[in-house]
Chains A and B, each alone.
Chain A
Amino acid sequence: MFLTGVLKGIQVTIENLFKRALTIRYPHQKIEAAERFRGEHSFDISKCKSCGLCERICPSRAIEMIEIKGKKYPKIDMGKCSFCGLCTEICPFGALKLTKNFSLASGNKKDFIKKPRKLKK
């Protein structure tokens, strides 16, 4: 009675055996992330006017303003960040942006704290 069920399953398995695999060999191969993908931040320190709006809007409290040469700039804790993109949306001068970089894993806890100068432009 159950034989037809088993045979049907085997048939699908055999069909799929000769199809191209959907998975890829990451990290040797990569799929390009979409245009709107929200990954690691980029920060252009020359555009930032130290308004502090990004710190105020961050829902995960991941941004802290720290002082560099008398001006305040955002320091981002990637461990807390939820990649929502609110900070980039609210920044009136376009200093903060989200890039497509998603490979942020690290063995060192300090790597997740991104000081303003450590963030790429």
Chain B
Amino acid sequence: MHETKTYRFPIGPAHPAMANFGIDIEIEGEKVINAKSDPGYLHRGFEKLMEYRTYLQNTILVGRVCVFEPFSYELAYNIAVDKIAGLDVPERGSYIRVMMSELMRISSHLVWMSKMCRATGLDTVLKLAITYRDYILELFEESTGGRVYPVYIRPGGVRWDLPDRFNEHLEKALKKLEDGLLKIDGLMFKNDIFISRTRNVGILKKNTAIKLGATGPVLKACGFKYDIRKDNPYEVYKELDFDVPVYNGCDSYSRSLVRRNEIEESIKIIRQLVKNMPSGNHINKISPFASLPQGEVYSRIEGARGEIGFHIISTGSDMPYRVKIRSPSFTHFIPVLEDILTGSQIADVPVIYWSLDPCADMDR
């Protein structure tokens, strides 16, 4: 008689607890003995689409790579286009760009908080975090006209100047966020239930993290102080004073703490930007159908999930010849996730999955 010892168990991609891509796991009893990522469900072909649109039209498209942090992709793309075109960004434009991408980082981490709490069964924080995110979305609506897809950063600066009473509204929202963070601390990060579900769960070894190309909070939770904002500063980060949170636990709990502390640092950065915001022009415009000179550039920034990069080749026409997007979730969700899941308990799969903060950018 044939005896079955292991079972193949597909999770996702069309599953409410999954971010639009699936994993095939093989289980023996309660233990995961093998895991295989199954991407492709959300592939939208951005890189090809961008070859058929002008540089300005592509600014509309790039934000859609990742719905939780469109500003980061807009920023990375536009830094690359600025480099090809040899455009100088006015100081005010640069300040606004950084301010918006820091707000986006907070908003993205709040979405992650709600998803992580859903995986650990803390439904109160799920709703609280989404509530606090709405204060940021209101700021986006006021300044850019779009709540989720702002379409705001342009080659050479930003689309519009900040609206009149923006700083007032911003300060109000930041105060609410700080209060909210304290409230969430008690419910989530200092909560025994959360700690016992995440501590020593999903350990990513230090040398594996480097070997598999982890970046962002996943790498910082392994004890590496690596942040592109510090190590290879772009825009105005050189002038700003902020810390990079680093933890040594290598587990889901450390990854959670890194993100929580990044929110605090981002609030600190935004306060500095408001204080030192220069006046003047916010954009050096180029013509919408401009042909850019020949060239090849790579730009990289620190997104909420890790390193975001754009490799653009221009052959001198009004459209890019080739665009390659480097997205952090791609490395986190194929090699890193497979490595961490192997040997874990099946009940910990959602916790490990969400501790890496997945987004649609893995499929592009």
Q: Residues of A contacting B141 with CB < 8 Å? A: 33-34, 36-37
B57 touches A6 (CB 8 A): no
A68 within 8 A of B: no
Give CA–CA (A35, B122) in the complex, Å: 37
Query: What is the bound-complex CA distance between A22 and B134, given in angstroms?
Result: 10
Using Cβ atoms and an 8 Å threshold, which residues of chain B touch A57? 56-57, 288-289
Give how many A-B residue pairs fall within 8 Å (CB-CB). 65
Give the complex CA separation of A26 and B342 in angstroms: 47
Tell me if B163 and A9 are in contact (CB < 8 A): no
Query: Which of B122, B163, B288 counts the most A-chain CB atoms under 10 A from its CB?
Result: B288
Within 8 Å by CB of B151, from A2, A4, A84, lies A84
B122:A85 contact, CB within 8 angstroms: no
In whole angstroms, how far apart are the Cα atoms of A22 and B133 in the complex?
12
Contact with A along B111-125 (1 / 0, CB 8 A): 000000000001010
Given A8-B187, A85-B145: A36 in contact with B160 (beta carbons within 8 A): yes
**In the complex, A86 Cα to B53 Cα: how many Å?**
13
- Residues 66-82 of A at the B interface (beta carbon under 8 Å): 82
Q: Determine if B237 is an interface residue (Cβ-Cβ < 8 Å).
A: no
A35 close to B163 (CB less than 8 A): yes
A90 interface contact, C-beta 8 A: yes
User: A5, B163: Cβ atoms under 8 Å?
Assistant: no
B252 within 8 A of A: no
Given that A12-B124, A12-B187 are known contacts, is A86 also in contact with B57, CB under 8 Å in the complex? yes
**A37 in contact with B145 given A85-B151, A86-B288 (CB within 8 Å):** yes
Chain A residues whose CB sits within 8 angstroms of the CB of B151 once the complex forms? 84-85
Q: Is the CB of B146 within 8 A of A38?
A: yes
In the A-B complex, list the 3 residue pairs whose CB atoms are closest, starting with the nearest.
Answer: A36-B145, A59-B57, A5-B191
A selection of 24 A-B contacts at a CB cut-off of 8 Å is A1-B192, A2-B196, A5-B191, A8-B187, A9-B124, A9-B187, A12-B183, A22-B131, A22-B134, A33-B141, A34-B142, A35-B163, A36-B141, A36-B145, A36-B163, A37-B141, A37-B146, A56-B289, A57-B288, A59-B58, A59-B61, A84-B151, A86-B56, A86-B288
